[in-house]
Amino acid sequence: MPDPLTGSGPPGASLSACHLPVSGVKQASAERLVAARSEAPFNSADDLARRADIDLSEMRLLAGADALASLSGHRRQQVWDALGLKRAPTLLRNAPIDEPFLELPAALEGEEVVHDYATTGLTLRSHPLALLRPHVARRRLRTAATSMNCRTGASCAMPASSPFASNPRLRTAPSSSVWKTRLLKSKSSSRSH
């Protein structure tokens, strides 16, 4: 799928965040963006802001949602580029800005995932628990799969992100009778099958 901002990209390229609604970006701004893009691909975040007449605060929202990746690169660079945009006086509105490029380091994947959830409510990157599994293993905590091998009545150390820890009805001390009963029931039902 070609990139919706630049019109480039290999067939079958992955879905980008600009296909998702970004909270705070007005419908009229999105329509201006689409109209300007149909005339010619954008070549920078500044070009998009000028030609589509996108408000600076909306440009920052788009950058924060990782929607400008094809124009600025990774999210940190997008946010930097969006923060550097200034509304020029009418006389200079279409004058290009020629400044040296400052390249920022990319964020770690975990930081990107957190920002994805904060801005769009989902991520197209790795699942958060996939990023935590090495830490869980180092601390010798049990995963949901390995907790089924726990002895009946034994306490099992599980990460706070486990279904048992995140569900208020199941959030009890591992050695409590409720936990033991649930473990007993699940082990006896699995043996009977």
Q: What is 57-78 written as a DSSP string? A: HHHHHHHHTTTTHHHH-SHHHH
What percent of the chain lies above the pLDDT cut of 90?
Answer: 16
Residue 106 lies in a domain: yes
Domain boundary among 89, 120, 151: 120
Residue 10 lies in a domain: no
Q: Taking residues 42-47, report their average pLDDT.
A: 90
* pLDDT reported for residue 28: 92
Domain range enclosing 136 = 128-191
Residue 75 lies in a domain: yes
Domain boundary among 63, 97, 120: 120
| pTM check: above 0.75 | no
CA distances (Å), 133 to each of 65, 77, 108, 154, 159, in order?
26, 29, 16, 23, 10
Domain boundary among 120, 149, 167: 120
Same domain membership, residue 116 and residue 50: yes
Residue 9 lies in a domain: no
Residue 94 lies in a domain: yes
* pLDDT reported for residue 36: 93
* pLDDT reported for residue 52: 92
Asked if 48 and 60 count as a contact pair (C-beta separation under 8 A), the reply is no
48: confidence class by pLDDT, cuts 50, 70, 90: very high
Residue 11 lies in a domain: no
* pLDDT reported for residue 159: 58
Residue 12 lies in a domain: no
Number of domains present in the structure of the chain: 2
Same domain membership, residue 186 and residue 141: yes
Same domain membership, residue 108 and residue 45: yes
* pLDDT reported for residue 16: 42
Same domain membership, residue 175 and residue 97: no
* pLDDT reported for residue 39: 94
Same domain membership, residue 137 and residue 116: no
- pLDDT tens string 143-186: 777 777 777 777 766 655 555 555 555 444 444 444 444 444 44
Same domain membership, residue 142 and residue 100: no
Q: Classify the phi-psi angles of 126: left when phi > 0, otherwise alpha if psi is within -120 to 50, otherwise beta.
A: beta
Same domain membership, residue 163 and residue 96: no
* pLDDT reported for residue 129: 83
* pLDDT reported for residue 115: 85
* pLDDT reported for residue 185: 47
17: confidence class by pLDDT, cuts 50, 70, 90: very low
